[in-house]
Structure 1
């Protein structure tokens, strides 16, 4: 069941391109750590299945330099990382720092199919030299390709109100 972040009739302002890019930079650093750990686990498992000596010989011969199974595994790991955060809290760790959140137009969390569409279009947007994100500059609603493709929004989260004691 989707999580409601705010009342349906409340409209939060769209997140700026700068804040989105800063959140992406922050998340990129976290993703490097996630990919290192995932690669370590994959390599350990592969070496165990093949045999540690055989795997060492394969590595020294350069036969595992381009492993399509590893590439696919890392792609799925990244999707699961982003998908989990987007569907549960609407925010990755980088998005939390910069107070931006992905959500549906009605203020609810996105679903896994939307997360997949956002993730895939994010790759397309970057492979197009970032044009998918720069599109916000010309879009009347400040939406990127990922927003439009997944029918979601990236909004600026208001600062929490301080409680008086």
Structure 2
């Protein structure tokens, strides 16, 4: 296997960077979830006539709300990955998503998002996979054919941004 000129720029990120980027992305996603919940709440008030209760647990409306929130978060992630290779939470850590052969398809990005969601629901097992993987890839990296890479700070740029 031959080394390319950009090999030093494409190192697998540490698990801690991945988790910190995920934590950073929680905040814009939380705002999107709040916006997504508004029409569901208004619909629930219109159907029940009572504005002083919550959507019933395990009701069809609550399941639709959860599905809507998952889809909105998926749109945020996949469109960000497709447009610029990173979400807002990935920018401070200089992380980028790439396809195995360059640009990733939307299908691969949605696959990455779906497997990453399942991984989080299973206690992050797909993320912990990176500790055992020889290349430092998570399970959703492997299964979707995408890669998360860390680009080091360019030479001559200080960490304080000055």
TM-score (structure 1 length as normaliser): 0.79
* Pair 1:24 & 2:27 matched: no
Q: Which residue does the alignment assign to 2:143?
A: 149
Q: Which residue does the alignment assign to 2:160?
A: none
Q: Which residue does the alignment assign to 2:103?
A: 109
Q: Which residue does the alignment assign to 1:76?
A: 71
Which SS does the other structure have where 1:98 is aligned?
A: coil
Which SS does the other structure have where 2:91 is aligned?
A: helix
Q: Which residue does the alignment assign to 1:43?
A: 41
Structure 1 stretches of 4+ with a deviation exceeding 6 A read none
The answer for unaligned runs of 5 or more in structure 2 is 158-162
1:138 & 1:144 partners in 2: Cα distance? Answer: 9
Structure 1 residue 42, shift from structure 2 partner: 3.5
Which SS does the other structure have where 1:97 is aligned?
A: coil
Q: Which residue does the alignment assign to 1:3?
A: none
Q: Which residue does the alignment assign to 1:125?
A: 119
TM-score (structure 2 length as normaliser): 0.80
Question: Which structure has the higher relative contact order (CA within 8 Å, separation 6+)?
Answer: 1
Structure 1 residue 82, shift from structure 2 partner: 0.7
Which SS does the other structure have where 1:140 is aligned?
A: coil
| 1:59-74 map, 5 Å | 60=52, 64-66=56-58, 67-74=62-69
Q: Which residue does the alignment assign to 2:81?
A: 86
How many residue pairs are counted as aligned between the two chains?
A: 149
Structure 1 residue 63, shift from structure 2 partner: 5.6
Structure 1 residue 111, shift from structure 2 partner: 1.5
Distance 1:63 1:147, change over 3 A: closer
CA RMSD of aligned residues (A): 2.3
